[in-house]
Structure 1
Amino acid sequence: MQRVYQRVLDHGYLGRERAAAELGMEEQEAAEAIARLRGLGLLRGSPAAPDRLIAVSPETAVAARVGRQEIELRERELQLAELRSTIEAYGSVYQRDLRRRAQSAGVEVLDGLSLIGSVLDEEADRCRTEVLTLQPGGPRIARALTDARARDTAILARGARMLTLYQHSARFNQMNRDYVKMVTGLGAEVRTLNTLPPRLIVFDRKVAFLPDRDDTSMAVVIRNSSVASYLAQSFDHFWAEAVPFAEVGRSTREMDASADIDSQIVRMLVSGDKDEMIAKQVALSLRTCRRRIAVIMERLDARSRFQAGYETRRREAAAEAGR
C-alpha cells in the first residue's frame, strides 16, 4: 500500500492496470491497495478526471475520517454522562427508601466505629434482663476490654444476667483472664469453645448486633424480636457445648481446652489447610500456631501432616478400646 501511495505522490496514475504495470504488482493486488487507501481517505479521484487518483495528506485524511468519529464519540460521551447523571439523581431517593424499609423491618446498618460504640452503649443502658455475647478470636485488645468493663459493670449492677463465650485460646492471655475474673466476680458467666461463629451480642433477646460481612468498621443492628430470639437460641446451643473459663492456674479444664485446640489443629492439618487458615480458625497468632504444630508433630513422632493425623486417630482408638 505504501508503494502505491508513494507512486501517486510522485506521478499520479490511471487505474489499477497502470499501477500494476509500473509497480510490478498483480492487478487484483493493486486494486485492493487502491481501495484500502481510498477507504482511509489517503487517495481520492480528481474533480477534473474522476479516474485519476490524487494523494491526500495524512493530516487531512485524519481530520476527515478520525476527526469526525472523535466528534461523534465526544457527543456520545456527553449523552452518556447526561444519562448517568439523570439516573443517579434518583440514587438518594432510593437509598432513603431502602433505609426506611430496613428500619421498618427492624434492621439498621451502622457505619463507623464511633457510631457502633454509641448505639451499643444505648442498647446496653436499656438492657434489663440478659446480655449474650459471642466473642470469637484470640485475646481482645486493651481498649476493647476497657470499654467493656464500664459497660458490663453497669449491666451487672442492674441484676441482668451476662453470658459470654470465647474461644479456648482466650484462656491463655493475662488481660483476658483479669477481665473474666472481674466480671465473674460481679456475677457474669464465661465459657469457651474451640471454634465460634462471627461475633454476636444480644440484649434481652430483643436486640442483636452482628458484624458486617466485609467491613470491620460497620455493624448491623437487628431490632426484630423474632430474629433476635432466634439468634439467642443459636447462642444457647453453643453455650451448652462450652466449658467454664478457668480463672487461675492450669486447671484440668484449661488442659482439656488446650487438647481441644491441638485436636482441631490436627484435623485441619490432615485436611490440608494452610497454617494461616488454621491459626485463624483456632484464634492463635500465626507464629504461635506454627510453634504448636511443631510441638504436636514432635509429640506424635510424625514426619508428615498425614502421619500426624493417622497417629492421632490410632491413639484415640486405642484409648477408646481401653475404657
Structure 2
Amino acid sequence: MADIVTIRGDLELLARTEHVFSSVHEEFICAARDLNTWSRPEARQAAGDRLRSSETQQVRKLFSPASLADEHSREHLSELVDKGARVRIAATALPHETIIIDRRFAILAGLNTPGGREYTLTTAPTLIGNVYALFEAAWETATDLQAFLRGEHPQLDTESRTVLRALGSGATDEKAARELGMSLRTYRRRVAALLDTLDAGSRFQAGVRAGELGLSG
C-alpha cells in the first residue's frame, strides 16, 4: 500500500484494513466522537472480532462526552473496560478521530460524503508519529470512564481555587504570591499540592484538568 491512501465508504475501509486489524500485536488506540464514528454496526462488529482474535497487548479508547448520551452506549463502554480496554472521556468533542495500530498504521476519519465517509489510511512514520503525539496529549487530560461516570471531582478549598486561578492568569510565581499575600515558598508549595490533587504532571496540565472537571471557575 502507498504511504497515504484516501478511500470512501465503510465497505472499502473494512476490505482495506482486514489484514491490519487481524495482525495487531502491541497496541490499538482509537479516538472517536461517539460509537458510530467508524462504520455501520455490522462492519464495526467485524473489525472488533478481528481485533479480539489478535494478541493485542494494550487497547486504549478515547471518546467525546457525546459517547455517553444513552444507556446502551454507557453499557457498551463499561463492557470494554471489563474486557481489559482502557477507556477515557475527553473534556470536549474531539477535533480529530483516528485509529492507530502498533504505531505503524493509522486511519484518519474525514467527513461524510454522498459516496460514504472519507478515510485516510497511512503508513507514513512521520504522520503517524504526529497523530500519536496528539492522541497522547488528549489522553493525558482525559478522565477514566468509571471516574467520569461517578462524577468524581477533586475537592479544592478556597485557597486552592485562588492558586488555580493565579496559575491560569499566566502571572509569574513572584507576582502571584505577592497578589495572594503569600511568601514565594508558600505559593510554590501550594502549587505543588494542587498538582498532586489534580493528578497533573505540569502546571499546564493542571489547568486543562481543572477546566475539564469544572474546577477553574
Which ranges in structure 1 are unaligned for 5 or more consecutive residues? Answer: 1-101, 257-315
Q: CA deviation at 1:198?
A: 2.4
1:155 aligns with 51
Retained in 1: the 8 A contact 2:24–2:56? no
Give distance in 1, aligned partners of 2:72 and 2:42: 10
* Equivalent AA in structure 2 for residue 209 of structure 1: I
Question: Does residue 1:114 correspond to 2:45, yes or no?
Answer: no
State the alpha-carbon separation in 2 of the partners of residues 252 and 109 from structure 1: 40
Counterpart CA distance in 1 for 2:69 and 2:112 is 28
Match of 1:244 in 2: 144
Q: Distance in 1 between matches of 2:63 and 2:80?
A: 14
TM-score normalised per structure 2: 0.59
Tell me how far 1:156 sits from its aligned partner: 4.5
How far 1:187 moved relative to its partner? 0.8
Q: Is the contact made by 1:135 and 1:166 (CA closer than 8 Å) also made in structure 2?
A: yes
Contact 1:192 / 1:243 at 8 angstroms: preserved in 2?
Answer: yes
**Structure 1 position 222, deviation (Å):** 0.7
Task: Return the letter of the residue paired with 2:44.
Answer: A
Between Structure 1 and Structure 2, the one with more helix by share is 1
- The answer to whether the aligner puts 1:235 opposite 2:131 as a matched pair is no
Distance 1:175 1:204, change over 3 A: same
TM-score, normalised with respect to structure 1? 0.41
SS at match of 1:191: strand
| C-alpha deviation, 1:233, in angstroms | 1.3
> Does the CA contact (< 8 Å) of 2:66 and 2:93 recur in 1?
no
Aligned residue for 1:129? 26
Q: Is the 8 Å Cα contact of residues 107 and 224 (structure 1) preserved in structure 2?
A: yes
**2:108 corresponds to 1:210:** yes
Q: Which has the higher contact order (CA 8 A, sep 6+)?
A: 2
Distance 1:236 1:156, change over 3 A: farther
Root mean square deviation, CA, Å: 3.2
In the alignment, what sits opposite 2:119? 219
Alpha-carbon distance between aligned partners in 2 of 1:205 and 1:178, rounded to the nearest angstrom: 29
1:154 deviates by: 4.3
Counterpart of 2:11 in structure 1: which amino acid? S
Deviation string, structure 1 residues 239-280 (Cα, Å, up to 9, x no partner): 0000011389x5124x89xxxxxxxxxxxxxxxxxxxxxxxx
Tell me how far apart the structure 2 counterparts of residues 177 and 241 of structure 1 sit (CA, whole Å). 20
**Cα displacement (A) at 1:168:** 1.4
Identity of counterpart residues, as a percentage?
Answer: 12
Extract unaligned runs of 5+ from structure 2.
155-213
SS in 2 for 1:198: coil
Superposition map of 1:1-323 within 5 A = 103=2, 106-136=3-33, 138=34, 140=36, 144-145=40-41, 147-152=43-48, 154-156=50-52, 158-193=55-90, 194-213=92-111, 215=113, 216-246=116-146, 251-253=150-152
Matched-pair contact (CA < 8 Å) for 1:202–1:232? yes
Which residue identity lines up with residue 212 of structure 1 in the other structure? G
* 8 Å Cα contact 1:128/1:155 also seen in 2: no
Letter in 2 for 1:251: R
State whether residues 135 and 200 of structure 1, in contact with CA within 8 Å, keep that contact through their aligned partners in structure 2.
yes
Q: Distance in 1 between matches of 2:100 and 2:8?
A: 19
> How far 1:213 sits from its partner (Å)?
4.8
Mark the structure with the bigger radius of gyration. 1
What SS class does the counterpart of residue 22 from structure 2 fall into?
helix
**1:150–1:127: structure 2 CA closer, same or farther, 3 Å change rule?**
same
Higher strand share: 2
Q: Distance in 1 between matches of 2:57 and 2:49?
A: 10
Cα distance in 2 for residues equivalent to 1:113 and 1:156: 20
Distance in 2 (alpha carbons) for counterparts of 1:175 and 1:206: 32
Matched residue count: 153
Q: Distance in 2 between matches of 1:145 and 1:175?
A: 13
